[in-house]
Amino acid sequence: MAEPVGKERSGPLSHIRVLDLGRIMAAPWATQMMADLGADVIKIERPEVGDDTRAWGPPFLKDRDGKATREAGYYLSVNRGKRSVTVDMATPDGQALLRQLAAGADVVIENFKAGALKRYGLDAATLRGLNPRLIYCSVTGFGQDGPRRDQAAYDFAIQAMGGLMSVTGERDDLAGGGPQKVGVPIVDLMTGMYAAVAILAALTRRAETGQGETIDLAMLDVASAFLANQAMNWLIGGRTPKRGGNRHPNIQPQDVFPCADGHLVLAVGNDGQFAKLCEALGRPEWASDPRFATNAARVGSNAVLTGLLAAEFARFPRSEITALLDAAGVPCAPINAVPQVFEDPQLKHRGMLRDLPHPLSGTVPQVVSPMRFETAALSFDRAPPLLGQHTREVLAELGITDEGFADLSTRGVL
């Protein structure tokens, strides 16, 4: 169990220490969530180079003089709240340091290729042998077994293989048609979410049994799992789901509609909301029309209904129709660009965008955790770390003296 480090941590995981051997997005997303929840997350990075995402720019954070730093926006989005330690795990001394850190950790998470860490003595069997209470989570593209176990994987490829791109994008016969990936690395993010849930479940079980756990999480498995209703549409319906643009395959009317001066998302979820929509548009007769009276009927008559609604929405400025539907209790929304998202008064009220102190730029913006706890408030006081910013601090906690630190540095271990 981790001891408080420096300023006492808050949050429901403030008693947990995580050794983060992850890189890129999936595993670091999980550990950023755990850091937000109060865990002491020690991020291990390659000396001089660091996590690959540090170089995935532009944009790069600007320092106080307006000059670009080495801190890419991609890296800054996924490493808040952690302590960065540089260790060359290819060296025997580096491996020994990491085993020492794992011996005092509650969780180790890594996303190397299947079996890659065994040659360094950093695999689950070795580290759990040193620390039987350890939760060891391995994130890979395809898992620890099976015909693809040795293949590398990135989010884009898994979006394709996992079926997501087959149901994302406009139909081939329409303008702009063709498969599309999601605009954020959704498989990485969802894999990080599943990893965090799995780790928390293992920690809860450990509290009852005293036993650690090994977690095998595969991105392709995750992608297939969150096909959700689209998978079930095929499994029980027998029809292969197709790309349908913004139209919902099971619920109507749900689509993007052009207004006089922009676009609006309409998200009617039941017959009652549809009746309210018809009333608001001055077309109450549509609610009793057999073609539209039930959701199943509206799905079957979607082409007709969409044409009727499009003609109605085109008469209104977006702000006017949005206000009208809001007042009627009909779910709808403007399509915001990213800057507009953070101008929304609700997000401002919730404090989702905050500036954290940063040693190079003074402050760095962060979109913080959406989780709220009444009795274990989260704190956001540690910006994404500079490369190796906490190496000396963490090694001192292992009992390594200044002389020992200098020796390791000279020999290229740190």
Select from 381, 378, 346 the least CA-distant residue to 363. Answer: 381
Which residues, including other chains, have CB under 8 Å from residue 251's CB and lie 6 or more apart?
268, 269, 295, 299
Annotation marks residue 52 as catalytic: no
Exposure string (b/e) for 178-194, b if CB count within 10 Å is 16 or more? eebbeeebbbbbbbbbb
CB neighbourhood size of 64 (10 A): 11
Assigned token pair, 338: 């990213």
- CA separation for the pair 82, 383 (Å, rounded): 8
- How many angstroms separate the Cα of 149 from the Cα of each of 69, 114, 125, 135? 37, 6, 18, 21
What is the pairing mode between strands 17-21 and 107-110? parallel
If residue 326 lies in a helix (H) or strand (E), which one and from where to where?
helix 318-328
Radius of gyration of the chain (CA): 25
Rounded CA-CA distance 352/340 in Å is: 13
Cα 198 from chain centroid?
Answer: 15
Closest by CA position to 379, among listed 13, 118, 71, 2: 13
Q: Is residue 4 classed exposed, middle or buried when 0-12, 13-18 and 19+ CB atoms within 10 A define those classes?
A: exposed
C-beta separation of 192 from 28 below 8 A:
yes
Cis-peptide into 132, omega within 30 deg: no
Side-by-side strand order, sheet with 135-140: 82-86, 40-45, 17-21, 107-110, 135-140, 213-218
In this structure, the strands spanning 135-140 and 107-110 are parallel
Residue 338, C-beta contacts closer than 8 angstroms, at least 6 positions apart: none
Q: Which of 188, 261, 344, 407 is catalytic?
A: 188
Write out the catalytic residue numbers.
188
